[in-house]
Structure 1
Amino acid sequence: MAATRIEMETKDGVAWITLDGPETRNALDARASEALIAACDRIDADPEVGAAVITGTGRAFCSGADTDVLASLRSARADEGYDGLDVLYAGFRRFAGLRVPTVAAVNGAAVGAGLNLALAADLRVMAQDALLVSGFAAVGIHPGGGHLHLLGRAAGSTAAAAMGVFARRVRGAEAVGLGLAWAAVPAVDLHPTVRELIAHLAADPELARALKADLRLTVLDGTAWERSVEIERARQMWSLTRRNSDKSLQNGDNPLQSRES
């Protein structure tokens, strides 16, 4: 099965990152995570870039962790399992650390680690029919990558519990009402809406980077996220090695990929 490619185009002060893996609905694996890190490094090194946008191709934004990655963790030693999780999560954590303001243009389902990626952006704009799915607890897997913290940071403890613990799905306007997204628009208006939001940042990259630095220092609690990652990693590894998790991963199924319904 083809892996997700990370495409990046820089134009008029904006870096557009696209997850392109139609066969896996833009699932994340180690190679995609490493490519995302490399793209972020290039963005930070280019003083002409004032904003970054991440989106997906097809009907999905990002369907979560790649099946082979999850399956390989079932029988791994604890240290190897932790390393595997860390590699997978390194991509969206690096995206969160970009020196420029970021927007997730959520064109379709954002599931599990894919939802983490969307939540790592400073702002989310969704297509009206796009779906946000925690995707972990419903299939017997503990969330990872600081998932519950990211949900709570964006929308508060009630939304974090509803999605991360009680496995509720959220779509379009409901996500806006909860604070998970800034706007939900028709799919054809998604990219134009994002372009309008970031036009002033693209025109003044120096100010954009100063604003992002202050946002990280005053609003975004990186220490709390790091603590959440450490708390979740052991519990997620434990949950992945249980017998019912083995069943959920058999026959090439990815429990973190949504049916988009």
Structure 2
Amino acid sequence: MAAPILLDRKGAVAYLTLNRPDAGNAIDAPLARCLLEAVEAVEADPAIRCVVVRASGRMFCAGGDVKALHAAGDALPELLREILEFLHPAVARLAKMEKPVVSAILGPAAGAGIGLAAVGDIVLAEPDAHFTMAYSRIGLTPDGGATWLLPRHVGLRRAQELYLTNRRVSADEAAAMGLITRVVAEGTLVHEVDTLAEALASSAVGALGRTKRLLLTSGDATLAEQLEAESENIAQQGMTVEGRTGIAAFVERRQANFGAAELSMTANAPRRT
């Protein structure tokens, strides 16, 4: 039986592929468990500098495996907790990972698939992609982190409408409202994602990681707290080989080689806090 999550690597880019195409890449317990294991593996590997979340087949993710949920009968609460025991830490790690994360959306995304789509720092989609919350349609409440992600991406008022009405959102509308980053030309998703991921992997990944952290914590911080966090992070980044390499390259009018700098950073940079 094929693994529910495929982990592939191309240079410094790791590709996590949802791999249950015959089930619409619906999330069951084995897929959630394998996803967390794969996320932990790429997070811990210093040679991986960018992570892509994508799916096999014609659908990004149908959400939870409704057939499995139905089959659970009276054990449904236990099954839901088992799935989320793995899925939620995976989403949290992707959001907080100090490496850029790209989501590649082909076809529909629904339910918990919305969280896996929205957790990307940059989200690219084919024109035929569309998004549906779908939870109340089956009498359940949201999961997968999207009730935290969507209000931040699209605003509370719009998130309320999407969750309460279950209306389908096209790729173009999703881009306009901020649910995804942009829609690519038909048939170009693989090329666009590869090009973007390679560019991110060759950039100042340490600085990107700190930037991700600043953005994620800004919503709960006062201006004074955020200014202090910015001061601390830029000072710490200035102590790294990566920071010094970027500044020197700019002054010398040449392209910075952050990949080489990262190797030195691993051994010499102060520990990030």
TM range (shorter): 0.7 to 0.9
Q: Percent identical across equivalent pairs?
A: 31
Q: Could you tell me which residue of structure 2 aligns to residue 32 of structure 1?
A: 31
- TM-score w.r.t. the length of structure 1 is 0.75
SS in 1 for 2:63: coil
Deviates more, 1:133-142 or 1:175-184: 133-142
SS in 1 for 2:74: coil
* CA deviation after TM superposition for structure 1 residue 223, in Å: 9.5
Contact 1:17 1:54 in 2 (8 A): yes
Distance 1:80 1:176 in 2: 34
SS in 2 for 1:220: helix
Query: Residues 83-162 of structure 1: matches in 2 within 5 Å?
Result: 83-162=82-161
Deviates more, 1:66-75 or 1:10-19: 66-75
Structure 1 residues 193, 71: CA separation in 2 closer, same or farther (over 3 Å shift)? same
Does residue 220 (structure 1) correspond to residue 220 (structure 2)? The answer is no
- Deviations 1:19-45, CA, capped at 9 Å, x for gaps: 111210111111111111111122122
Q: Could you tell me which residue of structure 2 aligns to residue 200 of structure 1?
A: 199
Gapped regions of structure 1 (runs ≥ 5): 225-261
* CA deviation after TM superposition for structure 1 residue 81, in Å: 5.1
The structure with the largest alpha-carbon Rg is: 2
- Deviations 1:46-95, CA, capped at 9 Å, x for gaps: 22221111111111001111135423665238677544533343433333
Deviates more, 1:9-18 or 1:140-149: 140-149
Aligned length: 220
- TM-score w.r.t. the length of structure 2 is 0.72
Distance 2:23 2:177 in 1: 29
* CA deviation after TM superposition for structure 1 residue 176, in Å: 0.7
Alignment equivalent of 1:211, drawn from 208, 225, 232: 208
Deviates more, 1:81-90 or 1:193-202: 81-90
- What's the RMSD between the two structures over aligned residues? 2.5
- Deviations 1:210-243, CA, capped at 9 Å, x for gaps: 3123312x2114998xxxxxxxxxxxxxxxxxxx
Structure 1 residues 98, 154: CA separation in 2 closer, same or farther (over 3 Å shift)? same
Contact 2:116 2:144 in 1 (8 A): no
Distance 1:39 1:71 in 2: 27
Contact 2:107 2:130 in 1 (8 A): yes
Higher RCO structure (Cα 8 Å, ≥6 apart) = 1
